[in-house]
Amino acid sequence: MADRPPVRDWATDFDHTDPTWVADPYPIWDELRQACPVAHSDRYGGAWLPTRHADVAAIAYDTDDFTSRSVVVTEYRPPNLAPRGIAPPITSDPPFHQGARRMLLPLMSPQVIAKWEPSTREYCQSLVHELAGREVVDAATEYAQHIPVRVIARMLGFPEDDADRFRGFVHHVLEDVTLPLELRLPGMQELFEYLRDQVKDHIDNPRDDLTTALLNADMGGEVADLSHVGGTIALLLLAGIDTTWSAIGASIWHLASHPEDRDRLVKEPDLLPTAVEEFLRAYAPVTMARLVKHDMDWHGCPMKEDDWILLSFPAANRDPEFFVDPDEVIIDRTDNRHAAFGLGIHRCAGSHLARMELRVALEVFLDAFPVFHLDDPAAVKWSAGQVRGPRTLPVHIG
């Protein structure tokens, strides 16, 4: 990552890649929520940061004034590939968005995802089996990281041995965001060449998997063109990996540092689905982005066309106006309208898959290691960018 000046003032100069934010963003959001509550920055060519749930929701629901053309804040503005965007439907706006989403959702429905649960559990069990007997393991790189990569590779019908390449693509697209365009292009090119080869192989050899299903899926009465299908596959490959890895890692981090919650889940495994929702609320990994469509005054903010909006669902999930005791992790919280998977028409299409993976990953880990704790809290490292989760997580399991 390029060297960047430290943030002077969070209300007027915020930067979500600043080391202070990366280490602990929650106090920053709390301060902004009380004082600002929509921060601005000249960085990234102009960006805004709403911190209240009401403002995050209003922008998520407003597809007239904000476009999803690009959902990752970078130093440059992406080419305008409207109406589709580079990875439909996440980068699509209405009305095109609806057809692109309808094409994908039946393939990611809870009924479809349920069929992947037994093989996901088996895979998680094989991972803990490898770790058993060790004293300290890295729960981020030796456990959480592998699960979503393996599951999506199997679903798409891609070679499972390519897992390291997938993680390289993800790191490049989602974490190397401060690099200029010319340094980002070669990695993008490699990703698209890889996907082109996989799609071609599926056209030549159709099989019972998600890639073939997408190639044949109904997009407004016909099949979608190849660049549309390729963009959707890129989305499935990239969007589910860092995010789910982060959610699993953050949950293990919480349990490793809160033995009372860990013990309770070991004793009351039926509570796990409720606890999973609370982990998703408190440690929501994903921040999205929008671009402002046209100059306007938005609730007193002088927004300019092509300004970024850093749409922080994690900040919305910590808003005390919306949640009781938002900074407390309450694993049996009953009312939990959290926005970890977004709000409105862009609700995460992979949310049913992510929930299944997170629940199964925690269930298997707790079953194998009912007692574990952080080996060295200071050694835990969190990712920078719009996906937040532990990237180094040494846990004492022995």
H-helix or E-strand spanning residue 132: none
292 binds other proteins (CB under 8 A): no
* Residues in 90-109 that interact with other proteins by CB under 8 A: 102, 105-106, 108-109
Beta carbon of residue 244, minimum distance to other proteins (angstroms, whole number): 16
Structural contact between residues 140 and 245, judged by C-beta atoms closer than 8 angstroms: yes
With CB under 8 A as the contact rule, which of the stretches 6-14, 288-296, 323-331, 341-349 interacts with other proteins? 341-349
Name the residue among 224, 236, 240 with its Cα closest to residue 156: 236
- When the beta carbons of 198 and 287 are compared against other proteins, the nearer one is 287
Residue selected from 4, 196, 294, 337 as contacting other proteins according to rule CB under 8 A: 337
Report the DSSP beta bridge partners of residue 222: 219
- When the beta carbons of 352 and 388 are compared against other proteins, the nearer one is 352
At 127, which amino acid appears?
A: L
CA distance 174 to 73: 9
- When the beta carbons of 261 and 277 are compared against other proteins, the nearer one is 277
Residues 6+ apart with CB under 8 A from 223: 215, 216, 217
339 binds other proteins (CB under 8 A): yes
278 binds other proteins (CB under 8 A): no
At 314, which amino acid appears?
A: P
Name the residue among 158, 186, 162, 160 with its Cα closest to residue 172: 186
347 binds other proteins (CB under 8 A): yes
The dihedral over CA atoms of 164, 168, 174, 176, expressed in degrees to the nearest 10, equals: 150
Residue selected from 273, 370, 377, 398 as contacting other proteins according to rule CB under 8 A: 273
Site string for other proteins, 102-141 (x = CB under 8 A): x--xx-xxxx------------------------------
* Size of residue set near other proteins by CB under 8 A: 23
With CB under 8 A as the contact rule, which of the stretches 125-133, 162-170, 231-239, 334-342 interacts with other proteins? 334-342
- When the beta carbons of 22 and 112 are compared against other proteins, the nearer one is 112
Beta carbon of residue 280, minimum distance to other proteins (angstroms, whole number): 11
- When the beta carbons of 60 and 124 are compared against other proteins, the nearer one is 60
- When the beta carbons of 254 and 281 are compared against other proteins, the nearer one is 281
- When the beta carbons of 273 and 398 are compared against other proteins, the nearer one is 273
CB-CB neighbours of 111 under 10 Å:
8
DSSP 152-208: HHHHHT--GGGHHHHHHHHIIIII-TTS-HHHHHHHHHHHHHHHHHHHHHHHHS--S
CB-CB neighbours of 19 under 10 Å:
12
- When the beta carbons of 180 and 273 are compared against other proteins, the nearer one is 273
Token duo for residue 12: 């007027």
Residues 6+ apart with CB under 8 A from 62: none
343 binds other proteins (CB under 8 A): yes
58 binds other proteins (CB under 8 A): no
Q: Please report, as ranges, the residues that interact with other proteins according to CB under 8 A.
A: 102, 105-106, 108-111, 273, 277, 334-339, 341, 343-345, 347, 351-352, 355
